[in-house]
């Protein structure tokens, strides 16, 4: 089990087949790390844990970082939203980039899954694992690995509970706004809380929407916009605060992380909208009125202007100290 250097490139001499395989590196430290991985495979063979056929037919020795570079060029580079895919693989490559991919085990995959679930919601963890699974399947097709250790039934966490959105306690949202690490998140979450708009409508709010109301992008339903003193104090910063899908996705992930870390909740930004509805219901508005005030009902009835002013007063008072 020797390392051999030729023309500044390190080679590994297999103790069974006596074949020399290029490690494709000039760095001795990196070569020694590869050698340790390959020696471990030889030990497993000597212990009878893998057959001779599997030993000599092992997939190509290549690091996860190297695989990712090839995968990016072949698959991700042709996609429109490259950042979405690279963000899901960045942490994985940071932790395991130097590891030889054919030696990445199911136990390694389970450990990574546990870490994701510790720091993120089930939905976010599921998104990360889905992208890693897709990359490993590509590697399997390219003969870099024999099996996709992420392709196991029941391995990905369920998002069923996550999709059942419920209102979040107002004080939790207030705390999240305080803990926001960017000004964009702080303003965006405040707009969501006070207006009760959907994420895309809130991120693309315009002055004319405040003055004349708006037809919501998802439903086409008309509604007026609650503008409290707190939003007035934020001035023009509330307009187009989070206009793109990618910025909204990043903000949603930031909110989810705070909710998970601070309160142990698997929730997302859309639940802020449910909190907004609940505030109105808890202060005397029935569901039909709330639907008409927030543009969520398909009824053709119209609410009295006094109802809007009353609702605005409720939201203003409840969120004044948010």
Instruction: For residue range 212-263, list pLDDT tens digits in order.
Output: 889 888 888 889 999 999 999 999 999 999 999 889 999 999 999 999 999 9
pLDDT tens digits, one per residue of 111-133: 898 888 887 778 788 889 999 99
pLDDT tens digits, one per residue of 89-107: 998 999 999 999 988 988 8
Which of 83-87, 238-242, 264-268 is predicted most confidently?
A: 238-242
Task: Quickly tell me which residue has 């996860």 as its tokens.
Answer: 64
* d(C-alpha 236, C-alpha 225), whole Å: 15
What is the per-residue pLDDT for 42?
78
What is the per-residue pLDDT for 258?
95
pLDDT at 160 over 70: no
**pTM for the full model?**
0.56
pLDDT at 172 over 70: yes
């Amino acid at each position: 089990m020797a390392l051999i250097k030729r023309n500044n490139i390190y080679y590994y001499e297999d103790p069974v087949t006596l074949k020399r395989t290029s490690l494709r590196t000039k760095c001795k430290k990196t070569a020694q790390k590869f050698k340790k991985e390959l020696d471990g495979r030889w030990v497993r063979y000597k212990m009878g844990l893998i057959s001779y056929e599997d030993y000599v037919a092992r997939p190509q020795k290549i690091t996860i970082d190297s695989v990712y570079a090839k995968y990016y060029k072949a698959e991700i580079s042709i996609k429109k939203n490259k950042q979405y895919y690279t963000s899901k693989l960045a942490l994985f490559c940071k932790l395991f980039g130097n590891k030889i991919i054919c030696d990445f085990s199911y136990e390694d995959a389970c450990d990574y899954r546990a870490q994701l679930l510790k720091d993120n919601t089930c939905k976010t963890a599921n998104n990360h694992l889905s992208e890693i699974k897709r990359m490993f399947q590509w590697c399997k097709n390219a003969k870099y690995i024999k099996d996709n250790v992420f392709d196991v039934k029941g391995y990905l966490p369920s998002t069923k509970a996550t999709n059942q959105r419920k209102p979040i306690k107002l004080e939790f949202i207030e705390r999240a706004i305080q803990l926001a690490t960017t000004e964009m998140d702080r303003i965006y979450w405040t707009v969501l809380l006070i207006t009760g708009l959907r994420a895309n409508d809130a991120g693309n709010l315009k002055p004319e929407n405040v003055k004349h109301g708006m037809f919501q992008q998802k439903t086409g339903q008309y509604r007026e916009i609650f503008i409290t003193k707190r939003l007035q104090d934020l001035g023009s910063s509330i307009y187009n605060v989070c206009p793109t899908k990618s910025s909204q996705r990043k903000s949603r992930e930031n909110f989810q992380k705070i909710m998970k870390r601070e309160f142990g909740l698997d929730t997302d930004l859309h639940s802020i909208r449910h909190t907004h509805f609940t505030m109105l219901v808890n202060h005397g508005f029935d569901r039909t009125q709330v639907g008409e005030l927030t543009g969520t009902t398909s009824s053709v009835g119209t609410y009295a202007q006094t109802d809007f002013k009353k609702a605005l007063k409720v939201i203003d008072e409840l969120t004044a100290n948010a």
